[in-house]
A and B are shown apart, each in its own frame.
Chain A
Amino acid sequence: MNKILLIIQREYLSRVKKKSFILMTLLTPVIIAAFYGIMIYFSLQGATSTFHKVAVVNNNSRLTEKLNSGKNISYTYFSTSLQDVKKNYIKEGFDYILYLPDFPLDAPKGIQLMGDKQASLALNSKVANDLEETLRTQQLKASGIAQQDLDRLSTSIDIDTMKIDENGKEEDSSAGATTIIGSAAGILMFMFILLYGIQVMRGVIEEKTSRIIEVMISSVKPFQLMMGKIIGIALVGLTQFILWIVLTTAISAVAVQFFTGKDKVAQTMQSASTLNSNKDTVKAGQTAAGSQQTEKAEVQDKLTESGPVAYVQKSLAHLDLTKIILVFIFFFLGGYLFYSALYAAIGSAVDSETETQQFVMPVMMPLFVGYALSLSVISNDPYGPIAFWLSMIPFTSPIAMMVRLPYGVPDWQLGLSMVLLIIGFIGTVWFASKIYRVGILMYGKKTSLKEMIKWFTYKN
């Protein structure tokens, strides 16, 4: 037992001390945090995107309803001719001219948006929307509907998805976030098992090609050496995973702070300039009304009430992240043990890494299939029979279960899957150890699957 501990210690320390490990472990959270930060940055950017001032020249006497200025746009009506406006709009601080010719209200055409710069697609559709709404309002009013009735009608619709547990209690859930979390966990699981499984194989091949194996085996049993290596590398994976979570959380928190703070300044400046230069706008100055303090509060509000970040944050709040992480750790260890034992057997059977191809493929296939099916079938039908079986069979269960988990999996299924995985890895470890003990001392023979089966029956 003591010897296994020594082996675990060496396998662990020799990997954790490597520069590549330290770099990977530290850099990945930074990259994730950077993505997170950029996402926040852009969502805020969207909320306070470039402000457009549009000069409106209305030659249409039938259109009496006026365009309403919005958050990022202001409409100012001019009574002078289009020619005059064209001459002066830049001087007066406008970006674009909206020209409304004389058209019948039920067939608007000939409308132009002009400016020294090409209007963006987003601006174009924004103006078109505003105009459509104005037209509709006018026509509704013409048919005798009062303003307050109109206001009442313009509600936005947002469907909340709810899960109801067996007691009839409602749980908030979010289909989008569930899919994202599930797939992310599945991908991470797939990567981890593959990455660390192959590390086991490399480790075995290294011992074999460097010929230290004979010295080792004269001190410890092959099984001890194999298990020590597998467990040691598992701990490396676990260390990396936990560090990633801790570091990502920490760095993300810092990043959120950073981007929010920076944006506050940008927006204040923007709002201030709006206020100074545009006295005719209806609502634009609204956000600049308060001091910097309220300004910041407002940005925070925006952050929480809209945008993809807020959406993710809100959805995450409804998922039991702790449970997901714990289950992830269990299935990572289980799935890793299951596969790494097979990788160890492969490593023992070959003389160099180039020879591993023919054996690695069949071992990796179920993992690939599980991965592919998990992302397509399970996401569409997380409770269907395919999803159920994939999440039970140890070959695919680590990935499939992680994809299913955020949708909610009955406890008995989770438990059964865990038990099956444990039985599975005990099986593969037993199987692998029989091949391993023979393989590691075989040199210079090209090994076939048939040969490996023969080793299986060798007496120790």
Chain B
Amino acid sequence: MLSVHNIVKQYASHRALNDVSLEVSQGQIFGLLGPNGAGKTSLIRIITQITAPDSGEVIFNGKRLNSDHIAQIGYLPEERGLYKKMEIGEQVLYLAKLKGLSTAEATKRVKYWFEKLEMGSWWNKKVEDLSKGMQQKVQFVATVLHQPELIILDEPFSGFDPVNADVIKNEILELNRQGATFIFSTHRMESVEELCDSIALIHQSKKILDGKVADIKEEYRNNTYWLEYDGSLPSEGYETLYQVIKKEEIRNKIRMKIQLHPGVTANQLLYYLLPLVNIHRLDEVIPTMNDIFIEKVKPSQN
């Protein structure tokens, strides 16, 4: 539903985005990853039409991005803000009406969401009287209220306690089931693992990795396993099968991290081990997004 083609954005002496392209399809939860200053926010600002690219284009539902699309996009910026002196209910209504909702429709939906997220008593409170987490909740409601097709969340969980983070996560999943597409910008890799279908990794103004999370993980599998056993293995003879990365002894058991040589399967390993030791555990080490992120970003940073 959203295609970003060869976007370039240049600020005075700094190129924020260098030929970035990516593809978000309908109903996805898409993770936009990257270290600080990589250009994520610049890209989001282009998608939300806050700024325009120097070159390249954004296609939304088959059409070049234009001001009609504003009502179909919801955006929760990383730097949250509300009018401090304004009452909550009034404020959310105002933001909803700016997205093109009628007063009646906006009122109905605000009431629905306030009810749902247990914010009913907040209507007449001023923003400055709320805690930071409460303000985040208000902003989340303001972001999704107009039922946008595409919801862009920049670090949506920062500032939430675990309970509320969970509430928001469930809302995101429910909206996603109802058909909303999400773009997530975050550093928190565990939420990427949990929520995202696809990701793009932006680093130093360039996209350096993208694709489905499962595919990327598959690609970054490197035949590494955790092995736990008791008994003793011969000190020789295993070299043709694997190399030991880490070895430690825990309460009469030995735990090892091993990497199988290319072409060697887990079955072959078991076949070799079974007569020798009691196996307690054999786990493949699937790289986490965190590992992949660090691996991709680290070397080029120096």
B122 interface contact, C-beta 8 A: no
Count contacts on B: residues with CB < 8 A to the other chain.
Answer: 29
B188 within 8 A of A: no
With A210-B83, A454-B12, A459-B52 as contacts: A215 and B99 at CB distance below 8 Å: no
Report if A219-B70 is in contact (Cβ < 8 Å); known contacts: A3-B98, A459-B52. yes
CB-CB nearest in chain B for A203: B83
In Å, the complex CA distance between A443 and B48 comes to 18
Partner of B75 from the list A6, A218, A460 (CB cut-off 8 Å) is A218
B98 near A214: Cβ-Cβ < 8 Å: no
Minimum C-beta distance from B7 to chain A (A): 14
> Do the beta carbons of A212 and B83 come within 8 Å of each other?
yes
Q: How far is the CA of A441 from the CA of B84 in the complex (A)?
A: 19
Residues of A within 8 A of B139 (CB): 215
Are A10 and B94 interface neighbours, CB within 8 A?
A: yes
* B296 in contact (CB, < 8 A): no
> Which of chain A's residues have a CB closer than 8 A to the CB of B98?
3, 6-7, 216, 219-220
Do B77 and A211 have beta carbons less than 8 Å apart? yes
The answer, yes or no, to whether B279 is at the interface (CB within 8 Å) is no
- B97:A6 contact, CB within 8 angstroms: yes
Contact in complex: A215, B85 (CB < 8 Å): no
Q: How far is the CA of A6 from the CA of B95 in the complex (A)?
A: 10
Q: Which residue of A lies closest to B49 (CB)?
A: A218
Decide if A213 is an interface residue (CB 8 Å cutoff): yes
Identify which of B52, B79, B142 gathers the most chain A CB atoms within 10 Å of its CB: B79
Q: Does A217 contact B (CB under 8 A)?
A: yes
Size class of the A contact interface (CB-based, 8 Å): 20 to 34
Interface string of B59-71 (1 = CB under 8 A from A): 0000000010010
Instruction: Give the contacting residue for B73; candidates A14, A218, A221; CB below 8 A.
Output: A218
With both chains docked as a complex, state the minimum distance between the C-beta of A269 and any C-beta of chain B, in angstroms.
Answer: 55
Identify which of B49, B51, B75, B81 contacts A210 (C-beta below 8 A): B81
| CB neighbours of B77 from chain A (8 A) | 211, 214-215, 218
B95 touches A215 (CB 8 A): yes
The answer to whether B283 has its CB under 8 Å from any CB of chain A is no
Within 8 A of A (CB), among B140-170: 142
Contacts of A460 in B (CB 8 A): 51-52
In the bound complex, do residue B81 and residue A214 qualify as a contact, i.e. CB atoms below 8 Å apart?
Answer: yes
Pair A6/B81 contact, Cβ less than 8 Å: no
Please encode chain B, from 22 to 61, with 1 for each CB lying within 8 Å of some chain A CB and 0 for all others: 0000000000000000000000010011111010000000
Q: B82 touches which one: A210, A217, A441 (CB < 8 A)?
A: A210
Nearest-CB residue, chain B, relative to A7: B98
Q: A217 to chain B: which residues have CB within 8 Å? A: 50
Residue of B nearest to A460 (CB): B52
Whole-angstrom distance from the CB of B66 to the nearest CB of chain A? 12
Task: Please indicate the chain A residues that have their CB under 8 angstroms from the CB of B80 in the complex.
Answer: 211
Whole-angstrom CA separation of A207 from B84 in the bound complex = 9
Question: Is B117 among interface residues, defined by CB-CB distance under 8 A?
Answer: no
Q: Which residue of B lies closest to A216 (CB)?
A: B98
At the interface, yes or no: B86 with Cβ under 8 Å from chain A? yes
When each residue 344-371 of chain A gets 1 if its CB lies under 8 Å from chain B and 0 otherwise, what string results?
0000000000000000000000000000
How would residues 1 to 31 of chain A score, 1 for a CB under 8 Å from any chain B CB and 0 otherwise?
0010011001000100000000000000000
Check if B79 sits within 8 Å of A219, measured CB to CB.
Answer: no
B194 to chain A, nearest CB (A): 26
Q: Are A441 and B83 in contact (CB under 8 A)?
A: no
Q: Which residues of A contact B84 (CB under 8 A)?
A: 206, 210
Beta-carbon contact of A218 and B52 below 8 Å: no
Whether the Cβ atoms of B75 and A214 lie closer than 8 Å is: yes
Q: Name the distance in Å between A292's Cβ and chain B's nearest Cβ.
A: 56
**Which residues on A sit within 8 Å (CB–CB) of B95?**
215, 219
Q: Tell me if B52 and A211 are in contact (CB < 8 A).
A: no
Q: Is the CB of B86 within 8 A of A215?
A: no
Min Cβ gap A168→B in Å is 60
Query: A216 vs B70: C-alpha distance in the bound complex, in angstroms?
Result: 11
Contact mask for chain B residues 85-119; partner A; CB cutoff 8 A; 1 contact, 0 none = 11000000011011100000000000000000000
User: How long is the Cα–Cα vector from A214 to B73 in the complex, in angstroms?
Assistant: 13
Q: B47 → chain A, closest Cβ, in Å?
A: 9
Among residues of A, the one whose C-beta sits closest to the C-beta of B146 is A219
User: In the complex, what's the smallest C-beta–C-beta distance from B48 to chain A, in angstroms?
Assistant: 4
Q: Which residues of A contact B54 (CB under 8 A)?
A: 459
- The residues of B that contact A10 with a CB separation of less than 8 Å are 94
| A14 contacts across to B, CB distance below 8 A | 83, 85-86
Q: Quick one: closest A residue to B143, CB to CB? A: A215
A3 to B100, CA, bound (A): 8
Q: For B70, give its contact among A206, A212, A213, A218 (CB under 8 Å).
A: A218
Give Cα A219–Cα B139 distance, bound, in whole angstroms.
Answer: 14
Q: Are B82's CB and A212's CB within 8 A?
A: yes
**B residues less than 8 Å from A3 (CB atoms):** 98
Residues of B with C-beta under 8 A to A210: 81-84
Interface residues of A in 175-223 (CB under 8 A from B): 206-207, 210-221
Interface centre among A211, A214, A459 (most CB of B within 10 A): A214
Please tell me if the beta carbons of A218 and B83 are within 8 angstroms of each other in the complex.
Answer: no
Q: Do A218 and B85 form a contact, CB below 8 Å, given A6-B94, A6-B97? A: no
State in angstroms the CA–CA spacing of A86 and B271 once bound together: 142
- A441→B12 contact, CB < 8 A: no
Complex-state Cα separation, A216 to B12, whole angstroms? 25
A163 to chain B minimum Cβ distance, whole angstroms, is 51
8 Å CB contacts to B: which residues of A205-254? Answer: 206-207, 210-221
CB distance from A16 to the nearest CB of B (A): 13
Measured CB to CB, the nearest residue on chain B to A225 is: B98
Q: How far is the CA of A460 from the CA of B95 in the complex (A)?
A: 24
Separation of A454 and B10 alpha carbons in the complex (Å): 14
State how many angstroms separate the Cβ of A216 from the closest Cβ of chain B.
7
**A460 vs B76: C-alpha distance when bound (angstroms):** 22
Interface residues as binary, A449-460 with B (CB distance below 8 Å gives 1, 0 otherwise): 000001000011
Within 8 A of B (CB), among A271-316: none
Distance in angstroms from B50 CB to nearest chain A CB is 5
- CB of B79 within 8 A of CB of A211, answer yes
Considering the complex, which residues of chain B in the window 107-135 have a beta carbon less than 8 Å from any beta carbon of chain A?
Answer: none
Minimum CB distance partner of B67 in chain A: A221
Q: Which residues of B contact A6 (CB under 8 A)?
A: 94, 97-98
Residues of the B chain whose Cβ atoms lie less than 8 Å from the Cβ of A215: 75-77, 81, 95, 139, 142
A454–B75 alpha-carbon span in the complex (Å): 29
A459–B9 alpha-carbon span in the complex (Å): 11
Chain A contacts for B48, CB-based, 8 A? 218
List 20 A-B residue pairs with CB atoms under 8 Å apart, sorted by A's residue number.
A7-B98, A14-B85, A14-B86, A206-B84, A207-B81, A207-B83, A210-B81, A210-B83, A212-B81, A214-B45, A214-B77, A215-B81, A218-B50, A219-B70, A220-B98, A441-B45, A441-B50, A454-B12, A459-B54, A460-B51
- Known interface pairs A211-B77, A214-B81, A441-B51; 7 further A-B residue pairs with C-beta atoms within 8 A, sorted by A's residue number: A213-B81, A214-B79, A215-B142, A218-B48, A218-B75, A219-B95, A443-B79
